[in-house]
């Protein structure tokens, strides 16, 4: 495989330098989108595609990979000698998530809107792009109907739904020019290997193929060997010099990467301080990553309730996004966060927590928003929970410092063993700087760097304030218990298990971090209690009375009370019959054995008795009576009866 390694400079020259040259209408569209210069990955990939090469591009996040395949696809389709028929496909783009597919389809549409009706005698106007994803109200039958009616040249979608459409008899792929797999390693990580192979089976082998990703895995290398013909590999990386040694860093050059260390009981307070401190100079957009969907639900609900008071979250506006939300809610949240502060913000009120005039918009999310998505103007990324898969670390950080913008990323670690994660990332060519512990007189005041105190009074005050909110709504209590359990299970399955060991953490202090009223009943907690009986703790296990603990939602509380009433009216279940004592069971068995023994002795005695004497006359009368009955029933004939019982004359 050929290989081309490019420097870190974000500018690789004007678009007019590309050879073969790009069409004028595409250059005009790029100028309107304010993309004046190419990035290195674009400068390398576009000419290769246009000269009929297969491409494997590995580039840092935010390096412009989307335009690196969108532009050559449009160019190749319009340069076809024979136009595509309505039932024929020209290009297929496969993505791992709905959001990424929608984003790429939007980019295609932006270019196609600028496409002139007639570009020239040899050009072929593109008929458009079709989005093909699951998890929406659009069914596979709807996809087939849209394809037959509109006949798009470009198909963008997720693997499963793409397979459903390509196997329809009316979809012809023999004339397909190019296949692109974006975030290709993620496609394989999510278990899409089978549908991807099925899609490849529908496509012609004489095609151009492009794989784009920020990281390269062994599975992706195997896919390269199977699906590409003599591809050219493009690697875009950042080069940092220390002394005379050059190190390859897989991060954008404009990204500042930090790590923050705090004891578990102070971690959540530090999160709010970091968000406020980073926004003290200018309004910002921030993303906070959690390990599980339950954590996102819990902390969003908690902060939504606290934001009504506004003391601890002043100036912050929160959004939530995770993979278990409905498609409608995910779409509305994504749109609302993207257009924060603009007139286009039409998100549902339930998806947003905080003041509308807040200076910082904060998206609480899981790794569903970690890869591929272009979230504009994100200045800060906070990894509240380090990712289970180390490869995801750089993808999370890559949501900021995109396309040459500056950005900051912070990973939050518990004091102790987790601090070894910094050295682990350094070995992975991801160097981090220390972010200071923040101190202040009040959480809504300006924070100042300092050392972590032995007892952070304001963190304890925040915890007590959150306890007060939780006691007012049983739903928050239940969210918190689910969040803690899901976090503990995810933490125990961390791939870097020699660093992230649940047994090494003070679970009582982590309970303070979650603002729990009591620790849940689970094996991990039971083992921790058994091994830490003598340790003093900040945590006070205050189990609420679940019989009287009410929901703030009136309808839900009404249902809970009705359930309790039905339970009280239900007759008590009949007591289960008690099993006999072991001694009584043993006595019964001895009686059965004794009876069996007596029967066996009787059979033995009867077998030893002499045969009975010859039958007497009385016995003959009984035999004659029995024979007479058989004669009457027709079972014995008269001749036989007479021969047996009468003398012949």
In angstroms, the CA 214 to CA 251 distance is 10
- CA–CA distance, 452 with 439 (Å, rounded to integer): 8
Instruction: Report helix, strand or coil for 256.
Output: strand
Predicted confidence band at 505 (pLDDT cuts at 50, 70, 90)?
very high
For residue range 396-427, list pLDDT tens digits in order: 998 888 767 889 999 999 999 999 999 999 98
8 Å CB contact between 304 and 318:
yes
pTM across the whole model = 0.71
Spatial separation of the C-alpha atoms in residues 140 and 161, rounded to whole Å: 7
Rg of the chain, C-alpha, whole Å: 38
Tell which residue, 359, 153, 357, 191, has the closest CA to residue 275: 359
Residue 30 in this model has a pLDDT that exceeds 60: yes
Predicted confidence (pLDDT) per residue in 45-94, tens digit = 999 999 989 998 888 777 788 999 999 999 999 888 888 999 999 999 99
Would you state the pLDDT for residue 628?
Answer: 79
The helix/strand count (H/E) of the chain reads as 22, 20
Tens-digit pLDDT profile for residues 446-461: 788 888 988 899 999 9
Q: Is 475 exposed, middle or buried (0-12, 13-18, 19+ CB in 10 A)?
A: middle
**DSSP string covering 280-346:** SSS-EEEEEE-SSHHHHHHHHHHHHHHHTT-SSSTTEEEEEE-TTS-HHHHHHHHHHHHTTTSTT--
Ordered by start, the domain boundaries in the chain are: 2-236, 250-460, 618-649
Q: Judge if 2-236 and 250-460 fold alike in CATH terms.
A: yes
DSSP sequence for 603-624 = HHHHHTSPPPPPP-HHHHHHHH
Q: Indicate if the alpha-carbon torsion angle 385, 390, 391, 397 is positive or negative.
A: positive
- Cα(469)–Cα(25) distance, integer angstroms: 58
| Arch. (CATH architecture) of 250-460 | 3-Layer(aba) Sandwich (3.40)
249-280 core/surface letters (b: 16 or more CB in 10 A; e: else)? bbbbbbbbbbbbbbbbbbbbbbbbbbbbbbbe
The DSSP code for 37 is B
Q: Which CATH superfamily is domain 2-236 in?
A: P-loop containing nucleotide triphosphate hydrolases (3.40.50.300)
For every residue of 54-102, DSSP letters joined together read: -EEEEE-TTS-HHHHHHHHHHHHHHT-SSPPPTTB--EEEE-SSHHHHH
For residue 238, pLDDT over 70 is answered with: no
């Amino acid at each position: 495989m050929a290989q081309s390694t490019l420097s870190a400079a974000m500018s690789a020259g004007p678009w007019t330098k590309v050879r073969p040259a790009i069409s004028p209408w595409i250059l005009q569209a790029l100028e309107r989108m304010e993309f004046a210069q190419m990035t290195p990955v674009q400068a390398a990939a576009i000419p290769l595609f246009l000269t009929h090469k297969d491409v494997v591009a590995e580039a840092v996040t935010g390096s412009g990979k989307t335009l690196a395949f969108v532009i050559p696809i449009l160019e190749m389709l319009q340069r076809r000698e024979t136009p595509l028929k309505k039932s024929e496909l020209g290009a297929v783009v496969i993505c791992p998530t709905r959001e990424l597919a929608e984003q790429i389809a939007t980019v295609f549409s932006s270019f196609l809107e600028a496409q002139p009706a007639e570009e020239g005698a040899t050009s072929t106007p593109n008929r458009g792009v079709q989005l093909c994803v699951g998890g929406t109200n659009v069914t596979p039958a709807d996809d087939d109907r849209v394809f037959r009616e509109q006949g798009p040249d470009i198909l963008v979608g997720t693997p499963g739904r793409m397979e459903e459409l390509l196997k329809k008899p009316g979809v012809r792929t023999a004339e397909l020019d190019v296949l692109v797999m974006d975030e290709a390693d993620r496609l394989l990580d999510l278990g899409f290997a089978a549908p991807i192979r099925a899609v490849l089976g529908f496509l012609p082998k004489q095609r151009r193929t492009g794989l784009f990703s920020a990281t390269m895995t062994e599975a992706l290398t195997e896919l390269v060997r199977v699906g590409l013909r003599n591809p050219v590999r493009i690697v875009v990386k950042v080069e940092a010099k220390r002394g005379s040694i050059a190190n390859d860093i897989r991060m954008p050059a404009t990204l500042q990467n930090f790590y923050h260390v705090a004891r578990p009981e102070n971690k959540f307070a530090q999160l709010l301080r970091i968000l406020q401190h980073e926004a003290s100079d200018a309004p910002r957009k921030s993303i906070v990553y959690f390990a599980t969907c339950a954590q996102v639900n819990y902390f969003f609900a908690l902060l939504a309730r606290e934001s009504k008071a506004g003391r601890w979250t002043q100036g912050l506006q929160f959004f939530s996004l995770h993979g278990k939300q409905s498609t409608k809610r995910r779409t509305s949240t994504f749109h609302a966060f993207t257009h924060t502060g603009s007139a286009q913000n039409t998100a549902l009120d339930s998806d947003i927590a905080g003041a509308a005039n807040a200076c910082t918009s904060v998206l609480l999310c899981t790794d569903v928003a970690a890869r591929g998505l272009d979230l504009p103007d994100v200045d800060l990324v906070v990894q509240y929970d380090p990712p289970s898969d180390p490869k995801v670390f750089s993808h999370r950080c890559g949501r900021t410092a995109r396309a040459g913008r500056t950005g900051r990323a912070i990973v939050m670690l518990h004091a102790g063993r987790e601090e070894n994660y910094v050295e682990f990332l350094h070995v992975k060519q991801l160097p981090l700087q220390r972010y200071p512990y923040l101190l202040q007189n009040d959480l809504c005041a300006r924070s100042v760097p300092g050392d972590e105190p032995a007892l952070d009074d304001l963190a304890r005050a925040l915890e007590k304030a959150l306890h007060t909110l939780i006691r007012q709504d049983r739903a928050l209590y239940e969210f918190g218990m689910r969040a803690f359990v899901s976090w503990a299970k995810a933490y125990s399955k961390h791939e870097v298990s020699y660093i992230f060991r649940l047994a090494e953490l003070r679970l009582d202090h982590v309970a303070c971090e979650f603002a729990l009223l009591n620790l849940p009943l689970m094996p991990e907690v039971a083992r921790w209690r058994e091994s830490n009986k003598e340790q003093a703790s900040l945590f006070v296990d205050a189990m609420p009375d679940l019989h009287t603990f009410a929901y703030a939602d009136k309808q839900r509380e009404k249902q809970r009370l009705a359930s309790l009433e039905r339970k009280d009216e239900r007759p008590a279940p009949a007591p289960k019959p008690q099993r006999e004592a072991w001694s009584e069971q043993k006595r019964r068995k001895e009686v059965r054995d004794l009876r069996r023994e007596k029967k066996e002795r009787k059979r033995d005695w009867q077998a030893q008795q002499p045969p009975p004497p010859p039958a007497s006359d009385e016995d003959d009368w009984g035999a004659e009576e029995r024979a007479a009955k058989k004669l009457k029933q027709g079972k014995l004939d008269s001749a036989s009866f007479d021969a047996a019982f009468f003398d012949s004359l």
